[in-house]
Amino acid sequence: MKPMHEQEQINRLMSKLYSQSREAIFFFNTAGRVLYMNPAAERIVDDEVLRQLYEGHAETICRVCRGYMSETELRTCIACYFTNPESERFSSFQVYLDTVGKGVIPYAASYHTLADEDVHVLMLRDLSQQFKTQESFYQNKMMKHVIHAQENERRRISRELHDSVAQELMSAVIDLRVLKYMTGEEELLKKMRQTEESMTRLLDDIRNLAVELRPAALDDFGLEAAFRSHFKRIQQSYGVTIGFESNLDQQRYGSELETVVYRIGQEAILNALKYADVDHIELMLREENGRIWLIIEDHGNGFDPADDPIGTGLGLYGMQERAELVGGKVSIYSEKGKGTRITLDIPIISNTHGEGQ
C-alpha cells in the first residue's frame, strides 16, 4: 500500500484523467449495463443511445458497435469482446463504432475486468487520424513506386527500340542501298528507291517513338541536352518556339531528380501548347543556393486557378506529386489574359547521388 497522500494524489489525477481524457472510457457491470462513462465516451454516442445506456438496457452498446477486427475478419461479432471478456486477445484490439457526426470510425480498444469488483472497463482511442496519416504515407510510397516502375519500363522499351529494332532496320536500309548498285534495271531501281524511302521513314518513326518514351539523352548527357532536343522537336512538330536559358552546363544530378525536372518541364510545355494559344514559351533552368529551379512562362490565355480545369486537371496534380518525390515544390501563377508561370524548385542535397531507379 502506498502512503495515504500519494494514494490521494493518484485518485485526484485519475478522476481528472477520467473527465478530461480524449479517450472514451466505459464501465460496465457483468450484465453488460453501463455504470459510468466519461465525457469523451458520451460525445461518441447519440442522445437516444446515451439515454438507453444510462437506463441500463443490456447490450445497448451493440447499437453503436460495428464489430471488431479478428484474425480472420475485418469486422466481426463472432466471439465478441463483450461476451468473452476473459479472452487474451481483448487486452488490445481494434473496434469500429458508429459515432455521432463522424460515421463509422476505427478505435484502438482494450477491454478488461477489474478484479473483485465485477466491473469491466472498455477504453477507446480514436485511430482515424493515425489511419489517415498512414494512408497518405502509403499512397505517397505507392505513387513513388508507380512512377519509378513507369520510368523504368519506358526506359527499357525506349532502349530496346533504339538499340535493337532501329539498329536492325538500319542494317536492312544499308543492304538496300548496296542492292541499288547491283542492277541497272530502271524498274527495279525505282522500286528500291521507294522501299528505301518508306524504310527510312519507318526508322525515323521508331527513333521518335523511343525518344518520346524516354530520351536516352536524359540518361547519357543530362537535363540540358535532353531539353534542347525536346524543344527542337516541339518547334518542328507544333511550330511553337521555346526560349531556353540554363546555367547548368554539363552538370549532372541524381537520376531521380533529373527525371522529375524533365517530366515536369515536358508537362508544363504541353499544357502551354494545349491551352495558352501562344507562339513562344520561355523556359529557364538554373542552379542557385543548393537548389534547382525550373521556370516555365508564357504570355498566353492564362487561367484562374480557382476555376474548374479545362482538361482533367490531373496534369497539375501530377506535377505536384512528382515534385514531392524529391522534396520539391511546384507553384503556379496564372492570370486570365496575362499568361502562366510555373515554378519548380528542388533542394539538391540528398538528391545528388540518388540511388538511381
Partner 1 sequence: MNDKVNYQRELDEIRALFGYDFMALALAEPAEYHYVIKWKYASGNLNERFKDIVLQSGRGIAGMVFKTGKPFMFASVEQDVPRDAMFNYPIIRTERLTSLGAVPVWNDTRVAGVLLGGYRNDQRVTLQMMQELNELAHLGIGALNGKEYTPS
In terms of CB distance, is 45 or 273 closer to partner 1? 273
Q: How far is the CB of 193 from partner 1 (least distance, A)?
A: 9
Which of 316, 325, 317, 343 has its CA nearest to residue 256? 325
Q: How far is the CB of 188 from partner 1 (least distance, A)?
A: 13
In terms of CB distance, is 56 or 243 closer to partner 1? 243
Q: How far is the CB of 240 from partner 1 (least distance, A)?
A: 8
Residue 265 buriedness (CB in 10 A; 0-12 / 13-18 / 19+)? buried
Q: How far is the CB of 162 from partner 1 (least distance, A)?
A: 16
Helices (H), the chain: 4-20, 39-44, 47-55, 128-159, 166-180, 186-213, 216-220, 223-238, 255-271, 314-325
Could you give the CA distance from residue 272 to residue 10 in angstroms, rounded to a whole number?
A: 67
Instruction: Give residue 106's Cα distance to chain centre.
Output: 23
Which residue has 463509422 as its cell numbers?
Answer: 104
What sign for the dihedral angle of Cα 136, 142, 148, 154? negative
Q: How far is the CB of 303 from partner 1 (least distance, A)?
A: 12
The residues of the shown chain that bind partner 1, judged by CB under 8 A, are 190, 194, 196-198, 200-201, 204-205, 208, 235-240, 273-275, 277, 310-311
How many DSSP H helices and E strands does the chain contain?
Answer: 10, 11
Which of 65, 101, 146, 89 has its CA nearest to residue 318? 146
Q: How far is the CB of 201 from partner 1 (least distance, A)?
A: 5
In terms of CB distance, is 225 or 278 closer to partner 1? 278
In terms of CB distance, is 157 or 206 closer to partner 1? 206
Q: How far is the CB of 26 from partner 1 (least distance, A)?
A: 58
Helix or strand (DSSP H, E) at 296: strand 291-298
In terms of CB distance, is 26 or 275 closer to partner 1? 275
In terms of CB distance, is 104 or 270 closer to partner 1? 270
| Contact yes or no for 183/177 (Cβ under 8 A) | no
In terms of CB distance, is 252 or 274 closer to partner 1? 274
Could you give the CA distance from residue 321 to residue 309 in angstroms, rounded to a whole number?
A: 17
